[in-house]
Amino acid sequence: MKAILLLALLCLAVASANYAGFKVVRAYLENEKQIAEVGTWELDVWSRESTLGIGWNDIVVNDNHMVELLKLEVPFDILIDDVEEHLAEGQRDLEQSRSDKDAMLADFFIAYHTYDEYVAYYTNITTAFSTIAKFTPSIGTSIQGRNIFAVTITGTATGTKKKIFVSGGQHAREWIAPATTAYLITQLVTLYGSNAAVKTLLDTTIFQFAPLVNPDGYAYTWTGSANRLWRKNRRANTGGTYGVDLNRNWNDHWGGQGSSHTPSSDTYCGTAAFSEPESTAVSKFVLANGPFAGAIDYHSYSQLILRPYGWTNALPPNDARAKTVGDTIRARILAVNNVAYTSQPSWQLYYTTGSAQDWYYGQANVPLSYTIELRDTGTYGFQLPAAQIKPTGAENWAGFLYFAQSV
């Protein structure tokens, strides 16, 4: 069996939400024999270096899996010694950061927020800055009927303006992504009246944000620590499984390598391209409001700035410029907190098909399209502490400001 098919098995989610006895290890798979064996274990893959499996893979394992890794001579490091305790620690951090309601009202970025709190926040901030910001309550609804909202920001100057699109929160468990898109929106609207660079930018640019693309999955991750690591949307699939990976559902080389046709898989691509109302709604919004000069889709984790393509190792015609912009985003991020991101083509991380980034570039004709994987590199993984929201936002604001000025 080819390695690409074996990875489809490797990407299958842990069947149970019970993580007792599980750890997260960074395993260094070196050959197809190792991939073939590990691929039969149906593990939850949190992050990885390559779709082919050669290289490091952050995987959720139990003690029996670790014994087998040793038999296979697979070197590995333990990133998280107890996933159940890791989830409990994340829950404690969540409760502590949200315990002071007055402090949360004074500073939105000291804690993570629910779907309803995001709706209220965007309603309030766009009302407060109504001359430059507009909240669109719904550009479409999710599989469970929640609104997918959008925010538009532009300065008061008239004339022809370039357009930039930003999305976040396609993967439910990646809470830092919608938190960071909220941070960027807040910086744009609050600095317009006092920062010359932001005023110039907004007077020449229209920003369109879809800050939380997967509202059902996101809401589900708030229903208890056992569900905190949910990734997909909440479609009821055949066989009693749930969810489609929205970032494998876009109509650009849909259904190929890097995605799965197995409904239980965390990378399940759905029954067809744009089978899901969430990806369909955002794609229609992009086409209706473009053309866009640039686009970013925010995710976590791994600290990466990824550019097309994900589906092939061929380079797009504008790769030289895209590399320069991506490398400079990296440099601007690094200068803030000395946190290093890596700039590279998506396929060098792993092959993906049906991704938003490639659709923005290949189908919506967005010249500069990126996926940015936010903090961290595995210490906390998807449960980045609330104390890191503001530093993550600050460093990415620097990168985003450069990106918006340069496209």
- Mean pLDDT throughout 101-126? 97
Decide if pLDDT at 288 tops 80.
yes
Decide if pLDDT at 58 tops 60.
yes
pLDDT of residue 225: 87
Active site residue 89: no
Exposure string (b/e) for 304-334, b if CB count within 10 Å is 16 or more?
bbbbbbbbbeeebeeeeebbebbebbbebbe
pLDDT of residue 4: 37
Decide if pLDDT at 26 tops 60.
yes
pLDDT of residue 316: 96
Give 84-91 contacts, CB < 8 A, sequence gap 24+.
84/19, 84/20, 84/21, 84/22, 86/24, 86/381, 86/383, 87/19, 87/225, 87/226, 87/228, 87/229, 87/383, 88/225, 89/383, 90/225, 90/228, 90/380, 90/383, 91/225, 91/228
Domains and their CATH numbers in the chain = 3-81 (3.30.70.340), 92-406 (3.40.630.10)
pLDDT of residue 49: 57
- pLDDT-derived band of residue 20, with 50, 70 and 90 as boundaries? confident
- pLDDT-derived band of residue 50, with 50, 70 and 90 as boundaries? low
Longest dimension (CA), the chain: 67
- The catalytic residue among 49, 276, 373, 395 is 373
Average pLDDT, the chain: 92
pLDDT digits (tens, 9 = 90+) for 137-160: 999 999 999 999 999 999 999 999
- pLDDT-derived band of residue 6, with 50, 70 and 90 as boundaries? very low
- Mean pLDDT throughout 185-197? 98
Distances (CA, A) of 26 to 29, 45, 75, 78, 378: 9, 10, 8, 6, 9
- pLDDT-derived band of residue 3, with 50, 70 and 90 as boundaries? very low
Answer for the pair 161, 375: CB distance below 8 angstroms, yes or no: no
Q: What is the pTM of this model?
A: 0.93
- pLDDT-derived band of residue 122, with 50, 70 and 90 as boundaries? very high
